[in-house]
Structure 1
Amino acid sequence: MTKNLIASFSFSRSLVMVSALSLGLVACSSHKKERDLILPENHLVGVDRSATGGDDSLAGGVNAYLWRAALDTLAFMPMLSADAVGGSIITDWYQPVPSNPERFQVVCTVLDRRLRSDSISVVVHRQIKENGQWVDAPVTSHTASDLTSKIQVRARQLRADKLK
Structure 2
Amino acid sequence: MIQRRLPIASASLLGLAAALSACASGNDLPSADTAASQVTTIGVNSYLWRASLEAVSFAPLLQADSAGGVIVTDWFANPENPAERVKLTVSILDQDLRADALRVAASRQVSQGGGWVDAPVQAATVQKLEDIILTKARELRRQAIAS
Mark yes or no: TM-score above 0.5: yes
Hey, what's the Cα distance between the residues in 1 that align with 2:135 and 2:114? 39
**Alignment match, 1:126:** 108
- Structure 1 residues 139 and 75, CA, compared in 2 at 3 Å: closer, same or farther? same
**Cα offset for 1:76?**
1.0
Give RMSD over aligned pairs: 1.6
> In structure 1, what residue type is equivalent to 2:138?
R
Matches within 5 A, 1:2-151: 54-60=37-43, 62-97=44-79, 100-151=82-133
> In structure 2, what residue type is equivalent to 1:120?
L
| TM-score calculated relative to the size of structure 1 | 0.65
Hey, what's the Cα distance between the residues in 2 that align with 1:137 and 1:144? 14
Gaps of 5+ in 2: 1-33
Hey, what's the Cα distance between the residues in 1 that align with 2:140 and 2:35? 12
> In structure 1, what residue type is equivalent to 2:76?
Y
Aligned length: 113
- Structure 1 residues 163 and 80, CA, compared in 2 at 3 Å: closer, same or farther? same
Task: Report sequence identity in percent.
Answer: 39
Hey, what's the Cα distance between the residues in 2 that align with 1:146 and 1:99? 20
- Structure 1 residues 53 and 93, CA, compared in 2 at 3 Å: closer, same or farther? farther
Q: Kindly name which structure, 1 or 2, has the bigger radius of gyration based on alpha carbons.
A: 1
**Cα offset for 1:58?**
3.4
Displaced runs of 4 or more, over 6 A: none
Gaps of 5+ in 1: 1-50
> In structure 2, what residue type is equivalent to 1:58?
T
Hey, what's the Cα distance between the residues in 2 that align with 1:99 and 1:150? 22
**Cα offset for 1:100?**
2.7
